[in-house]
Amino acid sequence: MPRKRRRNSIWRQPFIQLLVAGIVVVSGFLVVRTTAVWLYARPFQGKLKALADPYGLSSLGLTSEPYFAGKGVVIDRVDRVEDTYTISSRYAWLPAPYRAKNPEEVRMVVVVDCGGTDVVGSYGSGGRAYLRYCHVTLIDQHTRRIVLNKVFSGEPPPATIYVDPGETQGDAYGSAPDESEMEDYIRSLLGRSEEGSTSSKE
């Protein structure tokens, strides 16, 4: 009796199996992270705009040192026109001892607005060169003062770009600001009081 030829299914290929496993792992990570953000944000629903709104607050001035006293929250400004805010995975910038679990615990509010671009040049095709930036504001809710206004810029756009023949315009953007740079800067302020001293949290 002739032996049946075993079909060589594509799903049996080691590369395909590794690819599928990788997709499953990444998908699981995204689901867990999204769920964690959603659970953390629940107590803040409907109160983010009041926490993040800087209008009517006074500034410490350019010579004052920024600080981060007590507990806080990190809020993203997602729409400049509608002036809407949300809590994203950036809430993890703050270690647990400095992270407020509800609005009542909040003293410091970090507002991150990464929707900014500046025109820094133009191309022969008529296109514009855009620099991306994030504006980070730190608000002390106890004193109702703006402690920090800082801009983090990404890498500049390319010096030259290629435009297909017949096209008259092509815009180019630089890279987004480095998330780790912003996180490291905020973390460098943790525990620093208005007087400039630092205190540690267990």
Domain match, 40 and 118 both: no
Query: Domain range holding 69?
Result: 46-189
177 belongs to a structural domain = yes
Domain match, 110 and 51 both: yes
What confidence category does residue 63 fall into, taking pLDDT thresholds of 50, 70 and 90? very low
63 belongs to a structural domain = yes
Secondary structure of residue 156 in the 3-state scheme: coil
Global pTM value: 0.74
Domain match, 120 and 154 both: yes
32 belongs to a structural domain = yes
Domain match, 109 and 19 both: no
Question: 9-56, pLDDT tens digit by residue?
Answer: 665 666 665 665 556 555 543 444 556 767 788 888 888 888 887 665
Question: 101 vs 195, which has greater pLDDT?
Answer: 101
**94 CB-near residues (< 8 Å, 6+ apart):** 71, 72, 73, 74, 110, 186, 190
Domain match, 38 and 56 both: no
90 belongs to a structural domain = yes
- Residue 93 · residue 131 · CB < 8 Å: no
What confidence category does residue 135 fall into, taking pLDDT thresholds of 50, 70 and 90? very high
Structural domains counted in the chain = 2
